[in-house]
């Protein structure tokens, strides 16, 4: 069910939706249709679109994309100092051309993955909003690394952001799964890259009464957490 509501602020519009539909805030997704901005001194009402899952969806649960399948343990490759030095130098050069300085340091090797941390005084900029800059650095680094050795994959991090972020993703997935089990209504998590979605699929794979699937197009898709009650 999709409905639209207006208010002087986004929160006021959300409160109207809660009052009229008699639902909890966690039971629906919100899309801002109109932020109310009209000019420097004018402002109109904020309009939101509320999506409430009220009926079972005809979807196949637990659909993994190829890139989201749980990874098998791989034998750790031998250290290749020359390869790692070239990738680290490349990353430092990319950051330098942005007008910042950093030191790229290899922090771990696992399977075919080489983890590199970008250390410096501009970590917030290097990480970017929700890690988007780190993702971009990682994509570029893997393109470069693929020309040197197609058998190795680069993981780019800064100040342990990825570990903290992964913990937050898993905690949010469990919290949302409990809400879905309680209400029987499916919920969408925020858009995530393939690796992050795989974390959610794996974490919730053995949770009783819950199934997951990815929705959307492009690199950043959303994971829908579904109650098995919806299919009864």
- The domain ranges of the chain are 2-52, 81-159, 163-231
Q: Which residue has the higher pLDDT, 213 or 35?
A: 213
Average pLDDT over residues 145-157: 87
pLDDT band, residue 39 (cuts 50/70/90): low
Task: Look at residue 56 in the predicted model and tell me its pLDDT.
Answer: 36
- What is the dotted CATH code of the domain comprising 81-159? 3.30.300.20
Same fold, 81-159 and 163-231: no
Would you call 130 exposed, middle or buried from its count of C-beta atoms within 10 A (0-12, 13-18, 19+)?
middle
Residues 6+ apart with CB under 8 A from 127: 133, 134, 158, 159, 161
pLDDT tens digit sequence for 107-142: 998 888 899 999 998 888 999 988 889 989 999 999
Helix (H, G, I), strand (E, B) or coil at 139: helix
Per cent of the chain over pLDDT 90 is 35
CATH topology for the 163-231 domain? Ribosomal Protein S8; Chain: A, domain 1 (3.30.1370)
Q: Which two three-digit tokens encode residue 34? A: 């109109």
Half-sphere exposure of 75 (CA within 13 A, CB side): 2
């Amino acid at each position: 069910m999709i409905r639209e509501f207006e208010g002087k602020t986004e929160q006021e519009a959300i409160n109207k939706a809660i009052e009229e539909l008699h639902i909890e805030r966690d039971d629906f997704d919100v899309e801002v249709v109109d932020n109310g901005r009209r000019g420097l001194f004018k402002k109109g009402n904020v309009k939101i679109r509320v999506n409430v899952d009220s009926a079972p969806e005809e979807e196949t649960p637990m659909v993994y994309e190829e890139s989201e399948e749980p990874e098998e343990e791989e034998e750790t490759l031998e250290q290749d100092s020359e390869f790692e030095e070239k990738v680290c130098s490349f990353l430092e050069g990319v950051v330098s051309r942005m007008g910042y300085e950093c030191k790229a340091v290899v922090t771990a090797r696992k399977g075919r993955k080489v983890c590199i941390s970008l250390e410096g005084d501009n970590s917030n900029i290097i990480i970017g909003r929700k890690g988007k800059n780190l993702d971009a650095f990682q994509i570029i680094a893997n393109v470069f690394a693929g020309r040197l050795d197609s058998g190795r994959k680069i993981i780019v991090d800064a100040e342990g952001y990825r570990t903290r972020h992964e913990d937050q993703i898993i905690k949010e997935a469990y919290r949302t799964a409990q809400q879905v089990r309680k209400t029987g209504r499916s919920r969408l998590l925020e858009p995530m890259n393939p690796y992050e979605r795989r974390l959610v699929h794996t974490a919730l794979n053995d949770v009783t009464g819950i199934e997951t699937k990815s929705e959307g197009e492009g690199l950043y898709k959303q994971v829908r957490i579904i109650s098995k009650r919806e299919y009864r």
